[in-house]
Chains A and B, each alone.
Chain A
Amino acid sequence: QKEVEQNSGPLSVPEGAIASLNCTYSDRVSQSFFWYRQYSGKSPELIMSIYSNGDKEDGRFTAQLNKASQYVSLLIRDSQPSDSATYLCAVNIRTGGFKTIFGAGTRLFVKA
């Protein structure tokens, strides 16, 4: 089993809809969780971080964490064509020091 799993997509949603991106992880001692956005040909950019169970909202983005079920999700409300990108889930585990594991990413396509 991969340590951090994401559906590779592409996930296609119409403009204005809610895009839901999911990520599962295998290590129960995971400490903190991140979502990065990566436009084609560009580097990843941190957009959300979450550390405790529940929801965290920032503008049109909501991160949801459920440690018991070992999943973290990202909701994008009122999706725009400019949200079209690959979204990377990253999980920090503490094994001595910290180790960050990335998922392979989900491609999101928002249709105008």
Chain B
Amino acid sequence: ETGVTQTPRHLVMGMTNKKSLKCEQHLGHNAMYWYKQSAKKPLELMFVYNFKEQTENNSVPSRFSPECPNSSHLFLHLHTLQPEDSALYLCASSQDRESPVYGYTFGSGTRLTVV
């Protein structure tokens, strides 16, 4: 496999459920990101990991919990979400946080619906 792979592609969950989103990159990149994309809004950066260390948390509610066990894998654990959390969640990677010369490679995204 090449590029950035995200699973699942679609997820419907109740407000009391716990679920996890998974992202894997096969590009040898050192930085990984979670973005949220809501309709007609700019991409919102949620979390940044550089060399497995979290370097940024953009005031994201604690019901979203990231995990980065190594430079190739990134998870987003979800619990007690709200309907307004319904959005497209995108994982991205780049060579590293300090040299974004080549921009990001995005995964295919997870379309999350909270009911």
Contact = CB atoms under 8 A, between A and B. Distances in A.
| Interface residues on chain A, size class | 20 to 34
Contacts, number: 49
Contact of A100 (B41, B100, B105): B100
A51 B45 CA distance: 22
Interface string B12-55: 00000000000000000000000000001111010000000001
B60 interface: no
A92 B106 contact: no
A21 interface: no
Q: Pick the most buried of B45, B102, B106, B107: most chain A CB atoms within 10 A of its CB.
A: B106
B108 A4 contact: no
Given A88-B43, A104-B42, A97 B102 contact: no
A44 B106 contact: yes
Interface of B: 40-43, 45, 55-56, 90, 97-98, 100-109
Interface of A: 4, 8, 32, 34, 36, 42-46, 49, 51, 88, 90, 92, 97-105
28 contacts: A32-B100, A34-B103, A36-B106, A42-B109, A43-B107, A43-B108, A43-B109, A44-B43, A44-B104, A44-B106, A45-B106, A46-B102, A49-B101, A51-B101, A97-B55, A97-B97, A97-B98, A98-B97, A98-B98, A98-B100, A99-B45, A100-B45, A100-B100, A100-B104, A101-B42, A102-B43, A104-B41, A104-B42
